[in-house]
Structure 1
Amino acid sequence: MLASVGVAHAQEASTRLPQISVEGDGAADETGDNLVAKTSDTGSKISVPLTEVPQSISVVTRKQIEEHGALTVGQALRYTPGLVAEPGGGNESLRYDFQSLRGLPYVGSHFVDGLKATFGVGNLGMPQFDPYNIERIDVVRGPTSVLYGQGYPGGMINIVTKKPTSERLREVAVGVGNDGKLFGTFDFSGPLDAEGQFLYRLTGVGRRADNQVDLVGEERLAIAPSFTWKPSDNTSLTILGSFQRDPEGGFYGSLPEAGLLYPLSDGEYIPRNFFPGDPDFDRFEREQASIGYGFEHRFNEHWKISQNLRYIDSSAEVQALSALQLIPPTTLARAALYGDDRTRALTVDTNAEVTFTTGPLAHTMLAGVDYARSVWDQEFGFSAMVPPIDIRNPIYGSPIQVPDSPATAMVFSSTRQKQEQIGVYLQDQVRWGNLVLTAGGRYDSADLFSDRKSSFLGMDTSGSSDQKDDAFSGRVGLTYLFENGLAPYVSYSTSFVPTLGTGADGVPFRPIRGEQWEAGIKYEPNRFDGFFAASVFDVRLENALTTDTRPGRICMGQMGPGPCQIQSGEQRFRGLELEAKAQLSSGLSVLGAYTYLDAEITRSNGPDLGKRPVNTPEHIASLWLNYSFQNQTLLGLTIGGGIRHQGATFGDPENTNRVPAHTLFDASVRYDFGQKFKDLEGLELAVNATNLFDETYVACSGKSYCNYGAGRSVVGTLSYRW
């Protein structure tokens, strides 16, 4: 039970120097301190205006990340449509980045600089990427397999890291906040020589904090060096490195629905600061390191080749106690989890881009091949032989045996999972006047191998599987570009995800397939800096796993014997997304987003048939307003405020566990001293508050896996740039 739950959750320009906005995956493109992005190469792997991508795409720029004071990727995505930014409520987000896209799982949806960054379902050592080292975040909604390979049809989140700049950049900052938050950052960049052939960048983060939950801490140290060599205007090589150590990962436990969604028998709720674990037992330590490069060479005005490569090594040691169920009136039965995970992955993407004409048609053609190989090793132990804890009178320090071997665990496994994938893809963007046709196809071959040595209550449950899958995926989209900035489009795209395992007959599972129809309209106004988008979509998922109900079908899984599975499940996700971003000359900026999502399990052998998927709200809406004062008296002062609403969800497949909707308010105040006091040029003070009124709300992904959302957070940051 605890293992399956872990998988679900493991679900501005005056006196300041210009900020950097990256439009691609090579060296930094210095386009100023922008809130509204106009181009991206994530949606098509070629740098094109957002209006030409026949699919929904949102860009969270560096300016937006700073204005909102985001400390995690989830926090940076709170005002983005089409996703649940923090499905666990946000208090857990310092450990993992989980977002669901159009109601579909997070699994495999995170990329860094265009290369896949997360591997392994249930990987307790999954890496996390600090926002301070992020230049922008591109969110593509809908299937992306045609260019990026395997992935669920909900979409992808591409994190674009900071790259070396050709202009000198110096920044240091310190910050403090409630719950004992304390942090420091630095960012240095610029040329190393007079000719600007050699550029560098070095960013670093150090922080610690307590938590709204008692006896829990968070710590991080991270550094990211990068170096660019530009021997000519046509050639560049950027080497990217990073190292991050998280000695403490914050709270990642669970509580039952009783005491959170409704009161206990004594009429009271479980306190928000209650810790169901034990400080002498619970621990989390992660290290992750990566090295890679981005290379680009342009032969002439028509031909260009690019290659991006990264090797990542991420490991974590985890011990945790989590609530299993309530023993009335106020006692919690608990279970212990042990995990020792390590993932090593190599990814490389090579492509060529060529432009040419055939009669009246102008082509931009992209052809490429990418390769990924990952090895994930995990030791996992689970035991329910743990002393219970009284909610009203918790006693800590009891001896608890770590389930780190078959002798001390009810369930113990040692697993090695290898995955290798190679894909070839071809895309052509064809322009005929104002009409743009984007069409592409891809063929993938994937090898998956898993070897598990495991036991359940002393019974051998070892097993292995070796399977090969291949799949074709594609996309075709049509866009019309009006002179006034309107761009209506329609597209069809498909996706696939290999599924490891076999059914009762021993035949390997087929890949899960997805398809989407989408129609929408984008608008980039000519008279002010803005971007607006509206889309409707219909996503279907086939070959989903569901219970095999045929008599006598019992299979051996990691957690012991249980029902077999069969690939007869189907799911449907359709809805509406609206987005608005505008930076007005009056000093006012606006971010608005709305999502309506109609989701249903359309075929299943389980009790979820006809039900809404777990933790999938029907309505999500947000609005953020920011105003920079223009009069001389208040010059340099910027105030902002936002509202976020998430509709009700269900915390169980049967849809009996209803989790109420919640509405949260955020605010910010910034003062740029240099705009009024020239001697203080580069000095800025910012205060960000989230969940300003300390609203109590709950997130659930199971009857025994609920948690309080993040309470009020107030953080002050003093930064200096020169």
Structure 2
Amino acid sequence: MLLFAAISPLWAQSDNGTIQGKITNEQGEPLPGIAVGLKGTAYGAPADAQGVYQIYNVPAGDYTIVVSGIGYERQTKKVALAAAATVNLDFQLKEYTEQLQTVEVIGRRETDYKNEVSYVASKTATPLKDIPQAVSYVTKEVIADQQAYRIGDIVKNISGVNMFSGYDDFTFRGFRSGSSDSKMINGMRTVGIFGPQPILANIERVEVIKGPASALFANTTPGGTMNYVTKKPLTENRKAISFTTGSFNTLRANADFTGAMNEEGTLLYRLNLAYENSDSYRDLQKNKSLMVAPSISFLPTDKTRINFDLVVTQYDGKLDRGQPIFGATSGTDLNSTPISFAIGEANDYHTNNVQYFTLSLNHQFTDALSFNASYMKFAWDEDLFEHRTSNSFAVDSLGNEIPTLMGMQVINRMRKLVSDNLSTYLVYHAKTGAIDHNLVAGVDYIQQKQPVGGGQSRAYGYRKTDGTIANSYNPANAGDYLFENGMPVPNIPHFDLENPQYNVTYAHEYIFNNRTSYAPTKYYTYGFYIQDQISFDKLKVLLSLRHENYRDVLNYDTPDENTVKQDKLLPRIGVVYALNDKVNLYGTYTESFQPQTTSSLLDPNAGGPFDPLSSNMIEFGSKTELINKRLAANIAFYRIEQNNILVNANDATNPDLLEQRGQEVSKGIELDLMGTITPNLSITANYAYNRAEITKSDNEEEVGNIKENAPEHQGGFWAKYTIDKGKLSGLGIAFGGNFVTERVTFDTYTLGLMLPGYVVFDAALFYKVNKFNISANLNNVFDKTHWAGGYSYTRLFPGAPRNYLLSVGYTF
């Protein structure tokens, strides 16, 4: 408080006044998040959770006050403000149902935990309650209150989603996410970065469309698709900066500036900046990130809207390959090494540069017909030097594993991937009698290239007497190997798990016995689709059909270029029935596909050609809006089946022979609760039951096995209460927790390694005075040791121990 008392005279001027009031709808309900500004000035403020706005420190004079929000008619009023006066001016806004923004080119109206509209779940701006498929989300308000900085920090708020490892790597409804076929930005395909998790400083919300989504996005994983929606410009002027410190030497700085660039409000901008420099609870690890993200919206007429986004991010750190524990011969003790324990060397590094550019256009030809187009170019390049596990333990002269010595390898890699996305479609509103149609027809094109110039060098194995390297040690030919202290000499020194040593080492110290030059590669896929959203009284039906054409180009840009074709027809059928104005029931059937690898398709010994991986889902549930539509409560029941999984045919005469016999099935229930219970109390909560198992396999012993990192139960909650009256006005408190039951690893059915379940609690305090915000978050309050994911004895991924974050922000 002494800080505020000391600096308050800097902005408090006795001759300036205040304009305040309340924004409501026609029913008298408060409208949070509505933009209020003084035309031709930088003065403005959004309405709070109670619909109240306050514009402070306004010089005396005559003004035009402008009130606007997506989904409501804009209002203006003249106001005369005397010196040191306070003017009360209320507004009642009329809602309009015809909304031009079918592509999200300006910011969302809501400013709480609840989101109302999805732009990608049906290619049109559709209320979430009218979408016949489960869509979970996390808004920027939840992200800010939890001081989440990376995507791994917020998946606990999404039912049916959990971490598979420590990378950008998740499990959706029991199925592992793919490298790039489960992640979108503004509905456009990204490059799969199996390393640093995206930071969230420029993210408006994260959506997860549950189940197969190929009818929307081409080849996708069966469990779900994650879509990042970037922050778009707002019509009101708003600027915010924040600084954060905390455990593990964390230092962060964020800035978010937005508003109109001209008096007419036809040119809007937004600029997000982020910087981080921190260590980690994991040995050797560090995070150094820098992001610059400008966005511009151009609204030349009331029929045309254009948005441009550019995001440039650089990540510098090390690639955390996880916590190794003592080998299986010592039992399954996950605590044989501390969770901070990592292997590597002090001068390892991992640099990633990510840039993406998006351009979106919406044009309304008539009241019934509109055209939408979006393009995104995404580029990623990587420079890596690492000492990592060889996924095995050291061996003695007899070939027996030594459970406390980790086998090692060194990798030096450079590569680049570039993708292009183009999505174009027409939307036509029609009416046949009492039936309304919302028709969508379009074409998507996606391509990804790996240009020439990439490559990897790898050093591993054991040294031989002739100066060469053997990939592994064979005790039957012990005389061919070098020995020291009675043990075969590794190419890369073993890592002692009992007495770890971290050094500075260099590539020239090793013999690189595996060098790979990455040949240029390319794949592209294009799809034609048609969709009709039919509305009749309380019934809504969604019918869509997509024909996908996937092409993988082998030996791209060489005389031996060869194109592999995989095609699929993908239906989507959904029904929504409104029991009343609060409860919608829905059911859906949808399919997806994933292409088989080209190596299996072109191998003459594999026995192909093979059909693509195919999936289908049946889902039904309800979506409910409570407490004047401030709270959403959803429940979903589903069954997902994936077929055409390639397995080895176990042919003694042809070990490369494959056959398509595999099947996996996931069944479950999900519950989600998001929104505001009272104007002071916000909540997000979720629960998921899932059983994902192998139902068909060439190996009979696998049938009935649970899939890796797919917990049977998981859930969590987060609640925030803010005091808005009395001496404690502006003080807020939040508390939450999440749990995950035990999970299977890749070593479970052979070596008995399981990841235990856990419960973790978090808490936070907030204080807002005038334009200052102070927040303090305590994560993992009871310092619970837990593992978020993991592969095997050599690579586990522990969650963070107890830690704190302290943030100070100023909005102006």
Same fold (TM over 0.5): yes
Letter of the structure 2 residue corresponding to residue 721 of structure 1: T
1:276 aligns with 2:370: no
- Contact 1:303–1:352 under 8 Å retained in 2: yes
2:588 and 2:206 mapped to 1: Cα distance? 23
Corresponding letter in the other structure for 1:171 = A
Q: 1:344: which partner in 2?
A: 418
* Residues 1:466 and 1:608: Cα distance change in structure 2 (over 3 Å): farther
Partner of 1:112: 185
What displacement does 1:399 show?
Answer: 4.0
What is the Cα deviation at residue 259 of structure 1? 9.0
The 8 Å contact of residues 255 and 707 in structure 1, kept in 2 or not, is answered as: no
Q: Which amino acid aligns with 2:702?
A: D
Give the aligned CA root-mean-square deviation in angstroms.
2.7
SS at match of 1:330: strand
| Secondary structure in 2 matching 1:74 | helix
CA–CA distance in 2 between the matches of 1:598 and 1:610?
10
Matched, 1:544 2:645: yes
Alignment-derived partner of residue 755 in structure 2: 659
Do residues 297 (structure 1) and 363 (structure 2) align?
yes
C-alpha displacement of 1:20: 9.8
- Whether 1:631 and 2:743 are equivalent positions in the alignment is no
Residue in 2 that maps onto 1:34: 112
What's the secondary structure of 1:696's corresponding residue?
Answer: coil
Kindly report which structure 2 residues correspond to 1:114-193, keeping only aligned pairs within 5 A, or say none: 114-119=187-192, 124=194, 128-193=197-262
| Structure 2 counterpart of 1:434 | 538
Report the CA distance shift for 1:172/1:478 in structure 2 as closer, same or farther (over 3 A).
same
Aligned ranges for residues 658-677 of structure 1 at < 5 Å?
658-674=754-770
In the TM superposition, what is the alpha-carbon distance from 1:234 to its structure 2 partner? 1.2
Partner deviation per Cα, 1:317-340 (whole Å, 9 max, x = no partner): 122222333454632222223322
Question: Residue 103 of structure 1 aligns with which residue?
Answer: 174
Structure 1 residue 114 displacement after superposition = 0.9
Counterpart of 1:694 in structure 2 is 783
Matched-pair identity in %: 23
* Equivalent position SS for 2:678: coil
What is the CA–CA distance in structure 2 between the aligned matches of 1:206 and 1:21, rounded to whole Å? 31
After superposition, the Cα gap between the structure-2 partners of 1:47 and 1:36, relative to the gap in structure 1 and judged at 3 Å, is same
Q: How does 1:324-363 map to 2 (within 5 A)?
A: 324-327=391-394, 328=402, 330-363=404-437
1:642-667 CA-partner distances (Å, limit 9, x unpaired): 11000101112653322110111111
Please state if 1:604 is matched with 2:681: no
TM-score (normalised: structure 1) = 0.88
Q: Give the C-alpha shift of residue 253 in structure 1.
A: 3.8
Do the aligned partners of 1:21 and 1:61 also contact (CA within 8 Å) in 2? no
What SS class does the counterpart of residue 580 from structure 2 fall into?
coil
Alpha-carbon separation, structure 1, partners of 2:703 and 2:68: 50
* Structure 1 residue 625: Cα displacement: 1.6
Deviation at residue 617 of structure 1 after TM alignment? 0.6
**Which residue identity is paired with 1:716?**
L
* Corresponding residue number in structure 2 for 1:559: none
Q: Does residue 571 of the first structure (1) align with residue 649 of the second (2)? A: no
Report 1:321-720 matches (<5 A).
Answer: 321-323=387-389, 324-327=391-394, 328=402, 330-376=404-450, 378-384=454-460, 385-397=491-503, 399=505, 401=507, 408-410=512-514, 412=516, 414-451=518-555, 466-500=563-597, 501-502=599-600, 504-505=605-606, 507-525=608-626, 527-555=628-656, 565-606=658-699, 608-652=702-746, 655=749, 656-674=752-770, 682-698=771-787, 699-720=789-810
Task: Give the aligned residue type for 1:309.
Answer: Y
Match of 1:572, SS state, is strand
Q: Is the 8 A contact 1:198 1:229 kept in 2?
A: yes
Q: Distance in 1 between matches of 2:109 and 2:335?
A: 54
Distance in 2 between residues matched to 1:630 and 1:206, nearest whole Å: 32
Letter of the 2:707 counterpart: P
Q: Which amino acid aligns with 1:483?
A: N
Matched to 1:644, the amino acid is: N
1: CA distance between counterparts of 2:595 and 2:265? 45
Q: Does structure 2 conserve the Cα–Cα contact (< 8 Å) formed by 1:256 and 1:325?
A: no
Q: CA deviation at 1:30?
A: 4.3
Q: What SS class does the counterpart of residue 584 from structure 1 fall into?
A: strand
Higher-Rg member (1/2): 2
- Alignment partner of 1:157: what SS? strand
SS at match of 2:626: coil
What's the offset of the Cα at 1:708? 2.1
**SS of 1:66 mapped into structure 2:** helix
The residue type equivalent to 1:720 in the other structure is Y
Q: 1:613 to 1:464 in 2, by over 3 A?
A: farther
The verdict on how the C-alpha distance between 1:260 and 1:153 changes in structure 2, with shifts beyond 3 A counting, is: farther
Shift of 1:275: 2.6
Tell me how far 1:256 sits from its aligned partner: 4.1
Distance in 1, Cα, partners of 2:272 & 2:237:
14
Bigger shift: 240-249 or 439-448? 240-249
- CA 1:715–1:253 in 2, change beyond 3 Å: closer, same or farther? same
How many residue pairs end up in the alignment?
Answer: 671
- 1:290, 1:312 within 8 Å by CA — same for their partners in 2? yes
Distance 1:654 1:688 in 2: 36
8 A Cα contact 1:257 1:705, kept in partner: no
Q: Secondary structure of the residue that 2:201 maps to in structure 1?
A: helix
- Which one-letter code corresponds to 1:167 in the other structure? E
Instruction: Provide the secondary structure at the position in 2 that maps to 1:29.
Output: coil
Structure 1 residues 178 and 80: CA distance shift in structure 2, 3 A: same
**In 2, are the aligned partners of 1:361 and 1:432 still within 8 Å (CA)?**
yes
* 1:30–1:570 Cα change, 3 Å: closer
Q: Distance in 1 between matches of 2:769 and 2:170?
A: 37
- Once residues 465 and 569 of structure 1 are traced to their aligned partners in structure 2, the CA distance between those partners, rounded to angstroms, is 28
Letter in 2 for 1:83: V
Tell me if the contact between 2:694 and 2:702 (Cα under 8 Å) persists in the aligned partners.
yes
* Counterpart AA for 2:611: R
Measured against aligned partners, the alpha-carbon deviations of 1:191-216 in whole angstroms (never above 9, x if no partner) come to: 11100111111111111111112222
Aligned 8 A contact 2:107 2:231 in 1:
no
Partner of 2:82: none
Give the whole-Å Cα distance in 2 for the aligned partners of 1:55 and 1:268: 41
Q: Is residue 254–residue 322 contact of structure 1 (8 Å, CA) maintained in 2?
A: no
Name the stretch that deviates more: 528-537 or 429-438.
528-537
Question: 1:706 Cα shift?
Answer: 1.6
Aligned mates of 2:608, 2:410 — CA distance in 1 = 34
TM-score, length basis structure 2 = 0.78
**Structure 1, unaligned stretches of length 5 or more?**
1-11, 454-462, 556-563, 675-681
Cα distance in structure 2, aligned partners of 1:142 and 1:708: 27
Deviation (angstroms), 1:292: 2.1
Aligned partner of 2:697: which letter? S
What secondary structure does 2:142 align onto?
Answer: helix
What is the distance in 2 between the residues matched to 1:55 and 1:153?
13
Aligned counterpart, 1:87: 164
Q: Structure 1 residues 273, 20: closer, same or farther in 2, change over 3 A?
A: farther
Task: Report the CA distance shift for 1:41/1:601 in structure 2 as closer, same or farther (over 3 A).
Answer: same
Q: 1:129 to 1:28 in 2, by over 3 A?
A: farther
List gaps (5 residues or longer) in structure 2.
Answer: 1-47, 56-66, 72-100, 395-401, 461-490
Higher RCO (CA 8 Å, separation ≥ 6 residues): 1
